[in-house]
Amino acid sequence: MKAIFEKRDETNPYTLLLLHGTGGNERDLLPIADMIDKGASVLSVRGNVLENGMPRFFKRLREGVFDEEDLIFRTDELKNYLHEAAEEHGFDRDKVIAVGYSNGANIAGSLLYHYNNVLNGAVLLHPMVPRRGIELPDMSGTPVFIGAGKNDPICPPQETEELEASLMEAGAAVEVFWADQGHQLTREEIDNAASWYKKVTKGE
Ligand code: MLT
């Protein structure tokens, strides 16, 4: 996969896995990584799928309707890539926290929905429910931050609530922050994600 890896503060054990939204690339979320944890290493990946020239992490049939077969295949591909990248760059595979926006949040959610202990935590910015009708792995102790929009036309509030409930039922510790700027990221949302991150990684 095409990706950027940056080792930053040598004493910081965490790696942020950055996953952009549809039409984005591996540079998009670098400023957000700085706002969340300047010292963490960064592995920022570009989605392997192209939709009319726009990079994505998996195919969709139309807006909001995922191609499940491709989602499963791409989720497995990303999980394997994470193992390979950890070996290549020497980062701690058990200290990877995903930060995904929109389509990137959906593949991060899909990692959590399909594999046990695949992420140490996740910041899901405007995510949807990645799959329905499957049994989720045990997520006991996995902290998840969800940034949502009360008026997000792509991820309506009921879907955020459904995602929160299913993650919690699987044992994850979920915190939801609501903004009112539709599907857009807000400064307040990222500030809240940064506070959540400090709390879960440093106990602050
Ligand atoms: C998706 O396809 O993952 C969602 O519709 C969000 C997006 O527009 O990328």
Note if 114 is an active site residue. Answer: no
Given a cut of 90, is residue 202 above it in pLDDT?
no
Grade residue 203 by pLDDT with cuts at 50, 70 and 90. Answer: confident
What spacing in Å lies between the alpha carbon of 75 and ligand 1's midpoint? 15
Please tell me the distance from the alpha carbon of residue 71 to that of residue 57, in angstroms, as a whole number. Answer: 8
Instruction: State whether the beta carbon of 154 lies less than 6 angstroms from ligand 1.
Output: yes
* Residue pLDDT, tens place only, 56-100: 999 999 988 999 999 999 999 999 999 999 999 999 999 999 999
Grade residue 126 by pLDDT with cuts at 50, 70 and 90. Answer: very high
* Residue pLDDT, tens place only, 161-188: 999 999 999 999 999 999 999 999 999 9
Given a cut of 80, is residue 204 above it in pLDDT?
no
- Ligand 1 atom nearest 126 alpha carbon: 6
Q: Which domains does the chain have, with CATH numbers?
A: 3-202 (3.40.50.1820)
The alpha helices in the chain, defined as continuous H runs, are: 30-36, 68-89, 103-114, 157-169, 187-202
- Selecting among 102, 114, 126, 166, the annotated active-site residue is 102
pTM (global) more than 0.85? yes
